[in-house]
Structure 1
C-alpha cells in the first residue's frame, strides 16, 4: 500500500487525487514532540523533519503537498494516546501515522504492561482501520541513557524490554513499518543526545528521520529526497545547554520526582535485595511472563 493509494479499508472515492494533501499525523510523547531539537523558540523533531521529505519529486507540479500534524506532547503515556491523541488523529484521516510511546510508562510507579499493551493495540488498530500506514519504534531504556547505577538501571531496562516486546508484536499484528531506535548508537555517539541525555539532539532527530525515510522507501512508498545528513542549524552551545537545564530541565526532573523517585528507590531496594539472595533473574522471568500474558490477552 502506497502512501498515495487507498488504505486497506478505503473506498475508491477516498483515494487521494492530484492536488490532495498527503496527511501525516504523529502521536507520542516528548521524543516525537521534538524535545532536544529546538528551532527558534519551538521544538521541531524527527517527525517534522521527515514530513518535509514525504512529498515525491514531481508532485509539486500536481499541487500535492504534505499536511503534517504533531499531536505528541511531553509526558504522554500509552493511555493518553488512546484517550486524547487518537480522536484528533482520526479526525484528520491520516494516510501516514507515527505512534512512538512507552518510555514514560516505564518511569511510573504504576507500570502495568497489560494496560500498555491494550492501549497501544487499540491505538494502532484504529489508525490501521482508517487506512493509515503505521510507523512504530522500539526505544532505548532510560537507565542506560542516563548511565544510572545497576540497582536503578536494571529494573528500568526490564520494563523497557517488556514495552519493546509488545511494540514488536503489535508491529507485526498491524503491519507497521518499524524502526529499531533502541539499536542506534546513542551511547557511543554523544552528539546524538541532547543535554538531558534522555532525548535526541538535533543530529539525533535527523538520524531518526533519515532511518524512517529509508524504511518507507524500501517498502515501496514514493518519497522526496531524504533529510540531510546533518541539521542545517548549528547545535546549541554550552551556555544554551546550561540555560535549558536551569529553566526547563530542573522543572522536568522535579515534576517527575514526586512520582518517579520514590518508585525508583523502591525498585532499587528490591533489586538489591534480590541480587544479594541470588534471585534477580526471577524478576526478569516474572516480567517476561507478564508480557506474554498481556499479548495473549489481546486475542
Structure 2
C-alpha cells in the first residue's frame, strides 16, 4: 500500500479555527486529506497521534500532519514549521500564510517575499507537490470602515501578488481564494468574521481538491460542501467571542491597533490632498522591488537544513 504524506503549514486558517470538532479544530486541510486517497485515510496530528480507517480495496493511504499554529507569520513558517515538515519528507505540502504579517507593525513585503521564496524552494527541490493560496482582504471580512480597510487591503494585495508570482515560479497548485461570491456569504464565516466556519473550510478543501484532481493528484472522493455539524447558535457564537475571541482582540490591540490607526490617518491625509494614488504606487513599487531582489533565473538554493 502506497502512503502519501501530506503536511500542512500556516496559521489559524490551516490550523482549522472556525471548524470545531470535539475539543479541537479540524479545518480545510484535514478535510482535503480525506480526499487524497481512494479509500482509507490515516490522519496523523502534530502531537503524533494517528487516526485511520482501512479498506481492503484501498490502493493508497494518507498520513496527515498539521503543523499550522494560530498567529503564525511567514517567519514562524520559515524558521519553525518548515524544518519540522522537511523531516517528515512530505509528498504534498500546503503553505498558506501571510494574513498575520499584514496585521503587524513589522510588515515588510521584502521579508515576506524572501521567506516564501526560501520555503517554496525547500519543498519543491525535494519533489513535494506544493499547495498555495492567495487570501481575501481581512478588512473586508471584518467589515472595517474604508479608512481602516484600505491599508489592510493594500498590504494583502501585495502579499497575494508575491504569492502569485512565486507559485507560478515553483509550479505550485495555486488556489485563487482572494475573491468569489462565496466569500461574501456570511454563512461561510465564523463568529469572529476573520476565520471561515465549517462551510467555509469545506469550500477551501473542495476547491483545492478540484485543482488536485484535475492534475491527477487527488484520487479520493471530493469533500462535501454540506456541513457535518449544525451551525453554531447565536449564544454559542457570542460565548466564543467572549472567551477565545477576546484574547485575540486583546493581543491585536497592543500591536495592530496603533499601527492601523497610523495607517488610517495617513490614508485620510492622502485622500484629503487627492494623492491616494501615491499609496498604491508606493506599494506596487515595493512589491516589484521585492520580487526583483529574488533570483530571476534558477531557483534559489534553500538555506534550511
Q: Settle same-fold status: TM greater than 0.5.
A: yes
Matched residues in 1 for 2:235 and 2:3: separation? Answer: 41
Residues 83 and 100 (structure 1), Cα distance of their counterparts in 2 relative to 1, 3 Å cut:
same
Residues 121 and 246 (structure 1), Cα distance of their counterparts in 2 relative to 1, 3 Å cut:
same
Matched, 1:214 2:196: no
Q: What do residues 45-86 of structure 1 show as CA deviations (whole Å, max 9, x unaligned)?
A: 000000011102598535631100000011100111110000
- Match of residue 54 from structure 1: 36
Aligned equivalent of 1:37, options 2, 13, 19:
19
Instruction: Report the CA distance between 1:169 and its aligned residue.
Output: 0.2
TM alignment of 1:56-75, pairs within 5 A? 56-57=38-39, 61=57, 64-75=60-71
Tell me, what secondary structure is at the counterpart of 1:65?
Answer: strand
Matched, 1:157 2:153: yes
Greater shift, 39-48 or 231-240, is seen at 231-240
Q: Please say if residues 136 and 176 of structure 1, whose CA atoms lie closer than 8 Å, have aligned partners that are also in contact.
A: yes
Tell me, what secondary structure is at the counterpart of 1:229?
Answer: coil
Aligned equivalent of 1:194, options 170, 190, 207:
190
TM alignment of 1:1-299, pairs within 5 A? 19-57=1-39, 61=57, 64-299=60-295
Instruction: Report the CA distance between 1:256 and its aligned residue.
Output: 1.3
Q: What do residues 107-146 of structure 1 show as CA deviations (whole Å, max 9, x unaligned)?
A: 0111100000000111111011111101100000111111
Matched residues in 2 for 1:38 and 1:60: separation? Answer: 31
Q: Please say if residues 188 and 200 of structure 2, whose CA atoms lie closer than 8 Å, have aligned partners that are also in contact.
A: yes
Q: What do residues 168-224 of structure 1 show as CA deviations (whole Å, max 9, x unaligned)?
A: 000011100111111133553110011000010000000100000000011122411
Instruction: Report the CA distance between 1:40 and its aligned residue.
Output: 1.3
Tell me, what secondary structure is at the counterpart of 1:27?
Answer: strand
Tell me, what secondary structure is at the counterpart of 2:65?
Answer: strand
Q: Please say if residues 145 and 186 of structure 1, whose CA atoms lie closer than 8 Å, have aligned partners that are also in contact.
A: no
Tell me, what secondary structure is at the counterpart of 2:229?
Answer: coil
Q: Please say if residues 33 and 62 of structure 2, whose CA atoms lie closer than 8 Å, have aligned partners that are also in contact.
A: yes
Q: Please say if residues 49 and 209 of structure 1, whose CA atoms lie closer than 8 Å, have aligned partners that are also in contact.
A: yes
Matched residues in 2 for 1:32 and 1:43: separation? Answer: 10
How many residues align? The count is: 281
Tell me, what secondary structure is at the counterpart of 1:73?
Answer: coil
Q: TM-score, normalised by structure 2?
A: 0.89
Q: Please say if residues 195 and 241 of structure 1, whose CA atoms lie closer than 8 Å, have aligned partners that are also in contact.
A: yes
- Match of residue 3 from structure 1: none
Q: Please say if residues 38 and 59 of structure 2, whose CA atoms lie closer than 8 Å, have aligned partners that are also in contact.
A: no
Matched residues in 2 for 1:34 and 1:129: separation? Answer: 28
Matched residues in 2 for 1:144 and 1:110: separation? Answer: 21
RMSD value, Cα? 1.3
Residues 236 and 93 (structure 1), Cα distance of their counterparts in 2 relative to 1, 3 Å cut:
same
Q: Which runs of 5+ in 1 are unaligned?
A: 1-18
